[in-house]
């Protein structure tokens, strides 16, 4: 890998976190005021994903290249992987609130139901088509269940969530691409061949995903990434709504 050093995974995490953390104190967005909600949600959602991650790592569904890690680990997961479940959600929730402030008219305001139903159908199709492939099948099941719940319970902010997700696609593909051996010039944008990808930080067992790649990132990660982002945003918004109701009742 052309960017070869032991701290690469840590550098990816910190590189993703740096600008959102700095801009959290922007006088307009003031994301630091949402920290009390974010940290509470992150503890529970990250715990769910870490347990999932540990089980899949133990099962050999994915693995980590020690050449790009500093060494410390917990539950069979490298420290950098644990940090991933803080850094990426932080960036994502920050982006969500920044867009809510700066995008005065969300172009997806009336498209959220269509997007939800489309995503549900995509997940259902993936479950049927790849039932025996544990990563994509299980990820699609969890995401489908969450989307069904969200369609009934989170109407108010789903359009903003979808906008944040689409905006985050570019940095998400780049950061995940680095983790999976990114070389923009070696592959077409979308392809179904991973055999030429070498020296990955995170390795995926080819028998448990669709096989499709966006550059080097498994396309399956889009479903996984959406679920990770959505669960955090929904959790933060529900805590905010609960506090707002309490404030109205006590006024």
**Per-residue pLDDT tens digits for 55-107:** 999 999 999 988 888 888 888 999 999 999 999 999 999 999 999 999 989 99
More confident residue, 59 or 246: 59
The pLDDT assigned to 185 comes to: 47
Residue pointed to by tokens 């990955």? 200
pLDDT band at 52 (very low <50, low <70, confident <90, very high): very high
197 pLDDT above the threshold of 70: no
CA separation for the pair 217, 157 (Å, rounded)? 28
More confident residue, 215 or 1: 215
Whole-model pTM: value is 0.91
Burial (CB count <10 Å: 0-12, 13-18, 19+), residue 223: buried
User: What phi and psi, each to the nearest 5 degrees, are found at residue 128?
Assistant: -70, -45
pLDDT band at 151 (very low <50, low <70, confident <90, very high): confident
More confident residue, 240 or 1: 240
Q: Region 219-246: what's the mean pLDDT?
A: 93
The pLDDT assigned to 2 comes to: 47
193 pLDDT above the threshold of 60: no
The answer to whether the Cα torsion of 69, 72, 76, 82 is positive or negative is negative
> What average pLDDT is seen over the chain?
89
pLDDT band at 183 (very low <50, low <70, confident <90, very high): low
pLDDT band at 53 (very low <50, low <70, confident <90, very high): very high
50 pLDDT above the threshold of 60: yes
Q: Region 126-143: what's the mean pLDDT?
A: 96
Cα-based distances in Å from 121 to 14, 69, 109, 115, 250? 35, 38, 20, 10, 43
């Amino acid at each position: 890998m052309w960017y070869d050093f032991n701290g690469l995974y840590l550098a990816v995490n910190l590189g993703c976190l740096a600008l959102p953390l700095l801009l959290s104190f922007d006088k307009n967005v003031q994301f630091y005021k949402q920290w009390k909600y974010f940290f509470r949600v992150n503890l529970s959602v990250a715990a769910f994903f870490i347990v999932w991650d540990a089980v899949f790592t133990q099962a050999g569904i994915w693995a980590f290249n020690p050449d790009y890690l500093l060494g410390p680990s917990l539950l069979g997961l490298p420290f950098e992987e644990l940090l991933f479940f803080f850094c990426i959600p932080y960036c994502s929730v920050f982006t969500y609130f920044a867009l809510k402030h700066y995008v005065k008219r969300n172009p997806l305001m009336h498209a959220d139901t269509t997007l939800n139903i489309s995503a549900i159908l995509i997940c259902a199709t993936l479950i049927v088509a790849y039932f025996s492939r544990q990563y994509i099948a299980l990820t699609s099941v969890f995401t489908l269940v969450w989307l069904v719940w969200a369609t009934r319970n989170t109407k108010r902010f789903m359009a903003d969530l979808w906008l944040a997700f689409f905006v985050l696609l570019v940095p998400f593909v780049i950061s995940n691409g680095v983790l999976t051996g990114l070389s923009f010039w070696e592959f077409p944008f979308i392809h179904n061949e991973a055999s030429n990808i070498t020296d990955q930080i995170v390795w995926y067992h080819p028998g448990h995903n669709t096989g499709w790649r966006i550059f080097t990132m498994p396309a399956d990660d889009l479903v996984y990434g959406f679920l990770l982002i959505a669960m955090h945003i929904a959790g933060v918004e529900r805590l905010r709504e609960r506090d707002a109701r309490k404030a109205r009742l006590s006024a």
